[in-house]
């Protein structure tokens, strides 16, 4: 594992924090299909997530051995009328290059942080749409 993959601190941790800030900025004030996007910081549990209606994208601070992860799904404390689409997980691994990029398993692609932040927001919007279509009214 190169220096980007350090578990405690290092360039990867700093870029992960930057990515979360970019996701928050990308979602700020946005509304899709009459649903507001909102960034939530839960200090009690050390969680940061982007919320849209009944689904969210979790961006936990801790790095797993296989990389940083983003979880698209429903909050465990919510009550749902129908089964939501399966949880989607993207695993991000820093790559070595002149410009910091993330290799994203789940998309099989590599992105710098700013374009990846936009992809995260749009994936949550798509996930929300999939969820909304599965809800029985």
pLDDT value of position 2: 42
Q: What is the pLDDT of residues 68-122, one digit of tens each?
A: 999 998 876 545 445 555 788 999 999 877 789 999 998 999 999 999 999 999 9
Distance, C-alpha 95 to centroid of its chain = 18
What is the spatial distance between Cα 97 and Cα 93, in angstroms, rounded to a whole number? 13
What is the spatial distance between Cα 74 and Cα 80, in angstroms, rounded to a whole number? 9
| pLDDT over 50 at 133, yes or no | yes
Two tokens, residue 13 = 């941790």
Domains of the chain by residue range: 3-75+86-134
Q: At what angle do helices 113-134 and 10-27 cross, to 10 degrees?
A: 50
pLDDT value of position 121: 93
Contact between 81 and 135 under an 8 Å Cβ cutoff? The reply is: yes
Closest CA to 60 of 36, 42, 84: 42
Confidence band, pLDDT 50/70/90 cuts, at residue 9: low
């Amino acid at each position: 594992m190169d220096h980007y993959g350090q578990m405690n601190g290092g360039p990867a941790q700093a870029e992960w924090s930057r990515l979360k800030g970019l996701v928050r900025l990308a979602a700020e004030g946005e509304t899709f299909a009459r649903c507001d996007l909102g960034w939530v910081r839960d200090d009690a549990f050390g969680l940061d997530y982007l919320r849209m209606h009944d689904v969210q994208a979790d961006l936990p601070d801790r790095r797993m051995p296989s990389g940083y992860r983003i979880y698209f799904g429903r909050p465990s404390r919510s009550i749902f009328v129908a089964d939501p689409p399966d949880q989607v997980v993207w695993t991000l691994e820093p790559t070595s290059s002149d410009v910091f990029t993330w290799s994203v398993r789940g998309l099989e692609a590599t992105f710098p942080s700013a374009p990846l932040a936009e992809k995260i927001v749009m994936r949550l919007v798509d996930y929300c749409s999939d969820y909304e279509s599965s809800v029985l009214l």
